[in-house]
Amino acid sequence: MLDLPTRIADSLLLLLEGQRVLAHLVIDEAQNLVQAGGQLAHYGLDGVQPGQPATEPLPFLEGLLPLVETPFLIRSLEMPSGRVADVHFFADDDRVWVLLLDVTAEWEEARRVQQKAYDMTLLSQREARLIAQLEAANQELTRAHHDLAVSREALQETHDRLQRELRDAERYVRATLPEPLAAPLAVDWRFVPSTELGGDSFGYHWVDDEHFAIYLVDVCGHGVGSSLLAVAVANTLRSEALSRTDFLRPGAVLAALNQAYPMDRHGELFSTVWYGVYHRPSGQLRYASAGHPPALLVSGPRDAGGDGRALPASGPCIGILPAASYQEEVCMLQPPARLFVFSDGTYEITAPDGAMQTFSAMSDILTRPAGPGRSELDELLDHAREVHGPGALDDDFTIIRVAL
């Protein structure tokens, strides 16, 4: 370390570990953990054991290994404990070192600054008009309390106008979502953003007379920036606006989308995307995932419940790795069956005591018979709100159901 004496280098390492809560994992060529150390419990990784696949405790490693470049850095990644860490990757012969450095405080501050920047963007034009109004009023008014009253009234008017425009933006986002379908496929959905403008969007449409595309986009974060990017990505898929791309090939679609939306040109925002194409005559579903939760296939009639099967697919999030590729998966959909595509906000529900609901709990609700006159989508939403308790959900709740 900079040719420093061992005692000084060790002191610096101790200082780094104390300030940044250092933890490390070492992964071999088979992508198994061979070593783990440091303050793993701080990141919710105290249960990791050498010998287990590295993607079990660290699912974000899917698609990252082997390293394309070294050293490699993923900034501000949320860990199982809820802490946020910079994740550093270093290749060392046939092994990869993964170092975790806590940046929770900086990440939270950056998020607050970013949200403030979004708010200021909306306020800028109205602020200019308000200043002009205040200057005109100041020339006419002679008493300070009168000037203050005019200012307060104008500020309230600006606030009310911003609230109206925020509601207009929310209506616009909802207007981009597709209508439920009854035939030839029964398609329904639920979309409950955690704020007025969330980071989820989705859609579905017939690519041609035989192929039906389904897609769901989940942009990191919430607010104006995340919402605008989610709508833009969904509109790109809806309008098939990726040149030289076959929209019947999910892997090619995600690769083209990854090229079109690099995070360094979109406010350091990345997204997870699930994209599938159902071929109605054959019943074949081709799908691919960019860091998105697996879809759930439930076989059997709705009124009798059914067997649930997750449809896993791996690939890095959109915008992180410029040269990423995406693996297509194939499965057959035999009626009666229901396909559920969702964001992680449908099952990662944190209870007031800090406990988090599991994927299997959501699967249990979607596979059991729904009550008379009830939709399993509503039952899942009711369950999420019951688990979470009072107030808005912590993340966007988005789920699509395709029934055959």
Q: DSSP for 350-373?
A: BPTTS-B--HHHHHHHHHSPPPTT
Among 102, 127, 152, residue at a domain's last position: 102
Q: Identify the residue whose tokens are 């960019």.
A: 290
Q: Say how far apart CA 251 and CA 148 lie, in whole Å.
A: 60
Kindly report, residue by residue over 129-142, the tens digit of the pLDDT: 767 776 777 777 77
Q: Which residues contact 316 (CB under 8 A, 6 or more apart)?
A: 62, 63, 64, 258, 290, 291, 324
Which pLDDT does position 365 carry in this prediction?
Answer: 94
Which pLDDT does position 2 carry in this prediction?
Answer: 62
CA distances from 189 to 207, 339, 389, 397, 400 (A): 20, 11, 23, 10, 4
333 and 209, same structural domain?
yes
Residue 1 inside a domain? The answer is no
For 47, counting Cβ atoms within 10 Å of its Cβ (0-12 exposed, 13-18 middle, 19+ buried), the class is exposed
116 and 81, same structural domain?
no
Which pLDDT does position 161 carry in this prediction?
Answer: 80
224 and 148, same structural domain?
no
Q: What is the DSSP string of 37-88?
A: EESGGGGT-TT--TTSBTTTT-GGGTTT-S-SSSSEEEEEEEPTTS-EEEEE
Among 143, 172, 201, residue at a domain's last position: 172
84 and 229, same structural domain?
no
User: Within 10 A of 311 (CB to CB), how many other CB atoms are there?
Assistant: 19
Cis status of the peptide bond prior to 184, with omega within 30 of 0: yes
Residues of the chain where predicted confidence (pLDDT) is lower than 70: 1-2, 9, 18, 127, 130, 134, 159, 162-163
Among 172, 190, 208, residue at a domain's last position: 172
Which DSSP symbol is given to 293? P
Helices within 186-310 (DSSP H only): 224-238, 250-260
Domain CATH number, residue 98: 3.40.1840.10
Residue 74 inside a domain? The answer is yes
356 and 309, same structural domain?
yes
Domain CATH number, residue 246: 3.60.40.10
Q: How many CA atoms lie within 13 A of 291 on its CB side?
A: 21
Residue 393: domain span: 178-403
Which pLDDT does position 227 carry in this prediction?
Answer: 92
Which pLDDT does position 130 carry in this prediction?
Answer: 64
Which pLDDT does position 127 carry in this prediction?
Answer: 67
SS3 109: helix
Contact between residue 148 and residue 173 where contact means Cβ atoms under 8 Å apart: no
186 and 47, same structural domain?
no
160 and 69, same structural domain?
no
The number of domains in the chain is: 3
143 and 98, same structural domain?
no
386 and 344, same structural domain?
yes
168 and 80, same structural domain?
no
Contact between residue 29 and residue 96 where contact means Cβ atoms under 8 Å apart: no
120 and 94, same structural domain?
no
Which pLDDT does position 244 carry in this prediction?
Answer: 95
Closest among 1, 27, 159, 144 to 91, alpha carbons compared? 27
Q: Which neighbouring-strand residues pair with 27? A: 33, 96
116 and 54, same structural domain?
no
